[in-house]
Amino acid sequence: MPLNRRTFLGTSAAAGAGAVVVGGAASPAQAHGRGHGHGHGRPQKRYSFTVMGTTDLHGNVFNWDYFTDAEFDDKDHNDVGLAKISTLVEQVRREKGRHNTLMIDAGDTIQGTQLSYYYAKIDPITAKRGPVHPMAQAMNAIGYDAAALGNHEFNYGIPVLRKFEEQCDFPLLGANALDAKTLRPAFAPYVIKKLRTPHGRDVRVAILGLTNPGIAIWDKANVGGKMVFPGLEEQAAKYVPRLRSMGADVVIVSAHSGNSGTSSYGDQIPYVENAAGLVAEQVPGIDAILVGHAHLEIPEYFVENKETGKKVVLSEPLKWGQRLTLFDFEVVWEKGRWVVEKAGSRVLNSNTAAEDRKITRLLADEHKKVVAYVNQVIGTSAAEMTTAEAAWKDEPIIDLINVVQAETVKAALAGGEYAELPVLSQASCFSRTARIPAGSVTIKDAAGLYPFENTLEARLVTGAQILDYLEFSAKYYVQTAAGAPVDPEKLTNAESTPDYNYDAVSGLTYDIDIAKPVGSRIVNLSFEGKPIDPKAQFVLAVNNYRASGGGNFPHVPAAKQLWANSEEIRNTIIAWVQAKGSVDGAEFASVDWKLTRDGVPVF
């Protein structure tokens, strides 16, 4: 079967060069700028319109946290979800005129909450007569015009993504998502929309979608041999001139790529992960870029194109539907075409809006099903365990992940060639608010501890490689001199390292001396009470993200794979708790690592 549910030629005709949506006439007040007259006193033809954008929605429809079973809240009192975004969108449409607006997204739509997980795995949209994905229902109801593909779109495999694509009333765009065999686009690269003006001349707005090259690493199991993902800059350079030659008056790029110019995967692939700014700088002919992937808030940022000197406006709305970007354009009729005279951007905060009852009513049943699912009791816990300090201390709740992973790998290797090798395990503090309560433990508790759909692997490593691995991980800490004050909140995330790219390894003991420079911090590395043998072999229980190169940790991606499982680690934890019936940290928790300065413990 072809990778797409329709051939690209059909897509290009239906969702690219020919897929234009004709809006109604704008009111003169909205369509005309004040501008000066020209040419025998005739007023210059002007038109204003707004392109709204979201990104990194990650399965958020309701202002609800399925992990805490309560309304979402954070220290900044942000709200989340498409129900809130819908209210903001309708406000903008009333203000600007519905037909003077477009609505787009920059990807990472169908993964991230238990709502999105439920309709990928528990009641999957791919089943015969299966449900329509809640994100498709909500985005269709809001009236999206296009969405770029995010890397997390591929987490559940291509069949789930294709079904989601089929259920959307708008195209999923990915100019740099190519069929591995033909190198033709696997998804529509772009869409051109027409906005009708009162001057008899439509404004043609092209939306070019670009996804993240890191998909080739992060979801290798799902896309390997099926799709390839070249760089954003080269694909933009290919398509932007084409769009201009097709008559596009305005070109907007929806890019699932941050603005930093850096990559978390190092040089594993020759394409930049966070390339939005590079695209603006290197590719002429772009008017605006909706930025995604980085989970940052950029209300308005201008990048000067090296070739033309033109300023390109970039904006990234905060994740999960916390913000809505507004690109405001003013175009003027010059020399037989519309030309962008002014472009700017701003963001609206969804915490200023009530949830749109149109959306909450539409998906009330789906929400109730998921709430019931996550509140299923799977066992009990003897004491509360939290991740509140797990970023700088060896905490029992992270030990829980590691003991489950190590036991699972030991059982899988039992009776085989590597059964006698010691098993180590890596785990990260994915969330600093995860909690296993004393008493009843539910699915949502386990899901909050492990929010990603990672699977488990076993890789063969040496003592020397483990040392390198731990040294790389330890760059997460800010170098802090002995005797200097320590603020735990400012101690971590050095070099912009996210929490999920710091690993604690169980099965051995070590200290991390944060007074030392990066690369020489691991001291007292021992196995069974003795200094580790650099040549000794170990089995490392590791998640598929890390094993495939995520985070650019050394050695593991090239290490021999001894075993792999398709079951999510989250579900393995749930099954472990169900089988045990109870969780008691006293049975498995131990302090295997600690932070020190010149040999003195920090905590």
- Terminus-to-terminus CA distance in the chain, angstroms? 58
What is the rounded average pLDDT of the residues 514-520? 98
- Given this model, what pLDDT does residue 41 score? 56
- Given this model, what pLDDT does residue 602 score? 97
- Given this model, what pLDDT does residue 266 score? 86
| Mean pLDDT of all residues belonging to the chain | 93
What is the rounded average pLDDT of the residues 382-388? 97
Answer for the pair 252, 240: CB distance below 8 angstroms, yes or no: no
Residue holding tokens 């495999």? Answer: 157
- Reported as a single tens digit per residue, the pLDDT across 467-483 is 999 999 999 999 999 99
- Given this model, what pLDDT does residue 44 score? 87
- Given this model, what pLDDT does residue 567 score? 87
Residue 461 has pLDDT above 60, yes or no: yes
Q: How many residues does the chain have?
A: 603
Residues 363 and 380 in one domain: no
Using alpha carbons, select from 343, 247, 339, 335 the residue that is nearest to residue 38.
Answer: 335
Residue 5 has pLDDT above 60, yes or no: no
- Given this model, what pLDDT does residue 200 score? 84
Answer for the pair 163, 125: CB distance below 8 angstroms, yes or no: yes
What is the rounded average pLDDT of the residues 140-154? 98
Tell me the one-letter amino acid at 537: Q
Residues 135 and 259 in one domain: yes
Query: Residue 20: inside a domain, yes or no?
Result: yes
Is the sign of the CA dihedral 348, 350, 356, 359 positive or negative? Answer: positive
- Given this model, what pLDDT does residue 125 score? 99
Residue finishing a domain among 369, 401, 429: 369
- Reported as a single tens digit per residue, the pLDDT across 31-42 is 434 344 444 557
What is the rounded average pLDDT of the residues 202-231? 96
Residue finishing a domain among 369, 397, 416: 369
Tell me the pLDDT band of 566, cut-offs 50, 70 and 90.
Answer: confident
Tell me the pLDDT band of 11, cut-offs 50, 70 and 90.
Answer: very low
- Given this model, what pLDDT does residue 61 score? 99
Neighbours of 183 (CB within 10 A): 10
Q: How many structural domains does the chain have?
A: 2
- Given this model, what pLDDT does residue 34 score? 39
What is the rounded average pLDDT of the residues 273-295? 98
Q: Which domain holds residue 171?
A: 11-369
Residues 363 and 442 in one domain: no
Residues 420 and 451 in one domain: yes
- The CATH number assigned to the domain holding 222 equals 3.60.21.10
- Given this model, what pLDDT does residue 7 score? 36
Answer for the pair 190, 173: CB distance below 8 angstroms, yes or no: yes
Residues 301 and 423 in one domain: no
Q: How far apart are CA 441 and CA 378, in angstroms?
A: 6
Under DSSP, is residue 37 helix (H, G, I), strand (E, B) or coil? strand
Residues 462 and 387 in one domain: yes
Residue finishing a domain among 369, 388, 405: 369
Answer for the pair 532, 467: CB distance below 8 angstroms, yes or no: yes
Residue 430 has pLDDT above 90, yes or no: yes
- The CATH number assigned to the domain holding 572 equals 3.90.780.10
Residue holding tokens 């433990």? Answer: 441
Under DSSP, is residue 236 helix (H, G, I), strand (E, B) or coil? helix
pTM, two decimals, is 0.85
Residues 315 and 396 in one domain: no
Q: Where are the beta strands (DSSP E) in 7-100?
A: 46-54, 64-65, 70-71
**Of residues 565 and 374, which shows the higher confidence score?**
374
Q: How far apart are CA 151 and CA 136, in angstroms?
A: 17
Q: What's 587's DSSP letter? A: G
Residue 270 has pLDDT above 60, yes or no: yes
Residue 543 Cα distances to 132, 409, 508, angstroms: 30, 11, 18
Residue 513 has pLDDT above 90, yes or no: yes
- Given this model, what pLDDT does residue 10 score? 35
